[in-house]
Amino acid sequence: MQVLGADISDLVFDYLNNKDFVGKEYSYINKEIERVCGCKSFFPSQDQYLLFKEELERTEKFCFSDYRAEYGDFQTNMALAEQVTKHLSAKGVKPEAVIEPTCGKGNFILAALRYFPTIKQIIGIEIYSQYVWQCKINILDYFLSNPQANKPAIQIIRANVFEIDFNMLKKQISNSNILVLGNPPWVTNSMLGALDSTNLPQKTNFKKQKGLDAITGKGNFDIAEYIIISLIKSFETSDGCLSFLVKNSVIKNIIYEQCKNRFHISDLEELNIDCKKEFNVSVDASLFFCTFNSQPALHCQVYDFYNGNALKKFGWVKGGFYSDIQADDSLENIDGKSSMVWRQGIKHDCSNVMEMEREGGLFRNKLNESFELEEDLVFGLLKSSDLKAQVVNNSKKYTIVTQRYVGQKTDHLVNYPKTYKYLQKHIDEFRKRKSTIYQGNPDFSIFGIGDYSFKPYKVAISGLYKTMHFTLIMPQEKPLMVDDTCYFLSFDSLKDAVAVHTLLNTEITRSFLKSITFPDAKRMITKEALMRVDLAKALEFSNRSQLIKEANAVFSTINDKASIKAEDFDFIDKKDVQLELF
Ligand SMILES: C[S@@+](CC[C@H](N)C(=O)[O-])C[C@H]1O[C@@H](n2cnc3c(N)ncnc32)[C@H](O)[C@@H]1O
C-alpha cells in the first residue's frame, strides 16, 4: 500500500488510523509520534496532515519514477546499509549524532538505529518528498515493531542539501561524537547540464578550473564530491568520522586534493564494493571512511569490503601522487619531469567528415559519401585501436589536416579546390561542434596540431587502454597523425625514436606508470602522468646492454640496417626541457 508515493506497512497504517487520532490537530499527533519513535515534526503542517490522511483513506497506488537521473538516485539496499553500519560498529565507531545529508528512503538511518545504541540524535536531509515520507514511515514502523529500542531525537528534513548551512547544523549537535553517513547522489555537473537540471550547488566551478581545463572537462565534478568536501570542511575539527558510499574517482580526487587542502582527516580507507550486485550499475565505487579531528593524512588504504583483504595503498609520497604505493620505493627514482613534451593527438570533433578511407583513387567518409581530395592536406590517421603493435607504418584511416598550428587562418584552403569544396559542403557539421574551443576560431579548425605533428617518427600510447604499451610510428610516405585519444613524442631521427621507444617499454618505466595511474579512470594514461616519467633517470636505472639488445631487435623488425650503440642513448640525458607553446 502506498501513501503520497511512500510504501506503508500494515503496522504503520493501523497506527495512524487509530481511534485516538480522530479529530486531533497535527501538533497532537506529532507529539504522539515523537514519543513512539523520536521523529520530530512528522507532519510539517496541519495541511500536510490532512493531505496525508486523505491519501491514507484512498490508499491509491503512486509510482516512483524508475530512474531519477537528475538526483543521482541509487538507493542503498537494506542489506548493504546494515553491512556498512555493522562494519563501522566493529571498528569501534560509537556515534552520539548521525547526519545523513541525502537520506532517501532512510535505509542508512534504520541501519544506524539497529547497530548504534549510543545515538542520541539523528538528522536526515532529502529533497524528494516521497522519500521523506518513506523515511519517516520506515522509522515509525521500526519503533512500532521494536518499542524497546533506544529512541534518539530524529529530524527528517525536506530540503536541498546545497542550501543547508552545515556550520549551523554543527552548532545544534556540538560536543557529540558525530557520524556523517550515507550515499550522496551519483551525478556529475556536466550530466546535470545535459539534463538542464538545476540540482547543483551555486558555485559550480568549485574546483576553480580556468580556461581550457574548464572547457575540456577538467572542471567537471561529481556532486558527491562537492557534498563530501562541504561536510569535511564543516566537521573536520569535530569528534567523529565520515563514511560514504561514493565512486572511486571521488575518493581519488579527495586524496589528491588533500595535499593542498590538508583537511584534518585521517585513517583514510576505500572499501571496494560490487556495484553490479548492489546497484545493478557498472561503476567502480566504494565505502569511503575517514576520522575527523586528526593530523591530515595523505594515504588511503584500499580493502575489499566483503572480505576485508588489503589490496593496495594510494596517495602522496615525497610530493608525488601514486595510485599504488609500493613497499619497494625504487620506482620513485624516476618520478620527475620529462625532458621531452608529450603531446595529445589531433582533435576535430567531426569524425563523420574528417575521418575517411581510401577507395580506388577516391575517399569515402563515415556518411558513406565518395569524393576526391588533393593529396596535399591528407594524412594517415591512427586511433587507439591502431596502437597495438610494436611498430606501425601504415594507416587505414585518413584525415584532412586543415592547419599547421593551432589558430592558423584557414584561408589557404581555397588553394585546394576539391578539399575546399568538400569542407564547405559540410561547414554546418563543423559549426555545430559543441566544444567552446572552436568558438571564435577559423572555420574547420583543429586542435592538437603543431610542428611536432609533422616530424617523421613518433612514439605513442593510447590514453584509453590499460596495457602500458608504447608503439613506434614510422612515416607512410608522409608522417602519420594520431587522434586525440593518444599521446606521443615526435622525432626527426629514427635512432632517437627507437631509443626512447625502447626505454619507455622497459619494465621500470611501465611499472612506474602503473604506480601513478588509476585503471578505473576513464582515461588511464594522461599527459600529466607521462610528463612525470623522467627519461634521464629511467635511463640511469635501466640496464644499458639490455636496452641496446631490445632497440636493435626493433631495427631488425623494420628491416633497417642501422644499429644502436650505448652512446646513442646519451641524448636522452642531455635534452633540455622543450618549451610548451600550447
Ligand atoms: C544515491 S541516492 C542515496 C539515498 C540514500 N542516502 C541511501 O543511501 O539509500 C541519493 C539521494 O540524494 C537525494 N538528492 C539528490 N539531490 C539532492 C539535493 N540537492 N538535496 C537533498 N537530497 C538530494 C536523492 O533524491 C536520493 O535520495
Q: Is 110 helix (H, G, I), strand (E, B) or coil?
A: helix
Which of 473, 514, 498, 477 minimizes the C-alpha distance to 387? 473
| Rounded alpha-carbon distances, angstroms, from residue 233 to 192, 293, 401, 533 | 24, 11, 49, 34
Could you write out the DSSP letters of every residue in 117-130?
A: TT--EEEEEES-HH
Average pLDDT over the chain, rounded to whole? 90
Q: What is the CA(271)–ligand 1 centre distance, in A?
A: 21
Q: What is the CA(71)–ligand 1 centre distance, in A?
A: 6
pLDDT at 335: 92
Which three cell numbers, joined as nine digits, stand for 371? Answer: 569524393
**Per-residue pLDDT reduced to its tens digit, 40-60:** 999 999 988 988 888 877 764
Q: Is 108 helix (H, G, I), strand (E, B) or coil?
A: helix
- For the beta sheet containing 391-392, the strands, ordered from the edge strand earlier in sequence to the opposite edge, are 343-344, 486-491, 457-462, 471-473, 391-392
| Rounded alpha-carbon distances, angstroms, from residue 543 to 442, 505, 572 | 49, 13, 15
pLDDT at 558: 85
Which of 133, 106, 161, 117 minimizes the C-alpha distance to 33? 133
pLDDT at 254: 96
> Is it the case that residue 578 has pLDDT exceeding 60?
no
**Per-residue pLDDT reduced to its tens digit, 218-242:** 567 788 999 999 999 999 999 999 9
Query: Considering only CA atoms, which residue is closest to atom 17 of ligand 1?
Result: 127
Q: What is the CA(163)–ligand 1 centre distance, in A?
A: 14
Q: What is the CA(181)–ligand 1 centre distance, in A?
A: 12
Q: To test the ligand 1 pocket, which listed residue (65, 70, 71, 132) has its Cβ within 8 A of the most ligand atoms? A: 71
Residue 173's pLDDT band, with cuts at 50, 70 and 90, is confident
pLDDT above 90 covers a percentage of the chain that reads 73
Which distant-in-sequence residues (6+ apart) come within 8 Å of 400 by Cβ? 354, 373, 377, 378, 419, 422, 423
The end-to-end CA distance of the chain, in Å, is: 62
Q: What is the average pLDDT across 13-33?
A: 89
Q: What is the average pLDDT across 373-383?
A: 97
Residue 434's pLDDT band, with cuts at 50, 70 and 90, is confident
**Per-residue pLDDT reduced to its tens digit, 178-219:** 999 999 998 777 676 666 667 777 655 556 555 445 444 456
pLDDT at 205: 55
The atom of ligand 1 lying closest to the CA of 162 is: 19
pLDDT at 396: 96
> Is it the case that residue 430 has pLDDT exceeding 80?
yes
Contact indicator for 339, 575 with CB cutoff of 8 Å: yes
Q: What is the average pLDDT across 338-353?
A: 96
**Per-residue pLDDT reduced to its tens digit, 484-537:** 999 999 999 999 999 999 999 999 999 999 999 998 888 999 999 999 999 999
Residues with CB under 6 A from ligand 1: 71-76, 102-104, 107-108, 125-128, 131, 160-162, 182-186, 199
The atom of ligand 1 lying closest to the CA of 245 is: 8
Q: What is the average pLDDT across 146-171?
A: 93
**Per-residue pLDDT reduced to its tens digit, 97-155:** 999 999 999 999 999 999 999 999 999 999 999 899 999 999 999 999 999 999 999 99
> Is it the case that residue 575 has pLDDT exceeding 80?
no
The atom of ligand 1 lying closest to the CA of 81 is: 8
Q: To test the ligand 1 pocket, which listed residue (77, 126, 162) has its Cβ within 8 A of the most ligand atoms? A: 126
The atom of ligand 1 lying closest to the CA of 76 is: 9
Q: Is 580 helix (H, G, I), strand (E, B) or coil?
A: coil
Q: What is the CA(103)–ligand 1 centre distance, in A?
A: 6
Q: How far apart are CA 158 and CA 131, in angstroms?
A: 9
| Rounded alpha-carbon distances, angstroms, from residue 249 to 113, 272, 287, 466 | 30, 12, 12, 16
**Per-residue pLDDT reduced to its tens digit, 322-333:** 999 986 777 778
pLDDT at 20: 84
The structural domains of the chain, with segments of one domain joined by +, span 2-58, 222-317, 343-351+381-400+445-574
**Per-residue pLDDT reduced to its tens digit, 553-567:** 998 888 777 788 888
pLDDT at 197: 67
Query: Considering only CA atoms, which residue is closest to atom 27 of ligand 1?
Result: 104
Q: To test the ligand 1 pocket, which listed residue (85, 102, 103, 183) has its Cβ within 8 A of the most ligand atoms? A: 102
The tally of CA atoms less than 13 A away on the side-chain side of residue 192 is 20
pLDDT at 573: 77
pLDDT at 35: 93
- Nearest 5°: the CA angle 155, 124, 61 is 95
Q: What is the CA(172)–ligand 1 centre distance, in A?
A: 22
Query: Considering only CA atoms, which residue is closest to atom 13 of ligand 1?
Result: 102
Cβ atoms within 10 Å, residue 531: 16
Which distant-in-sequence residues (6+ apart) come within 8 Å of 6 by Cβ? 130, 131, 133, 134, 137
Q: What is the CA(168)–ligand 1 centre distance, in A?
A: 21
Q: What is the CA(366)–ligand 1 centre distance, in A?
A: 42
**Residue type for position 439:** Q
- Longest Cα–Cα distance in the chain: 100
Q: What is the CA(164)–ligand 1 centre distance, in A?
A: 14
Q: What is the CA(184)–ligand 1 centre distance, in A?
A: 6
- Nearest 5°: the CA angle 520, 526, 532 is 115
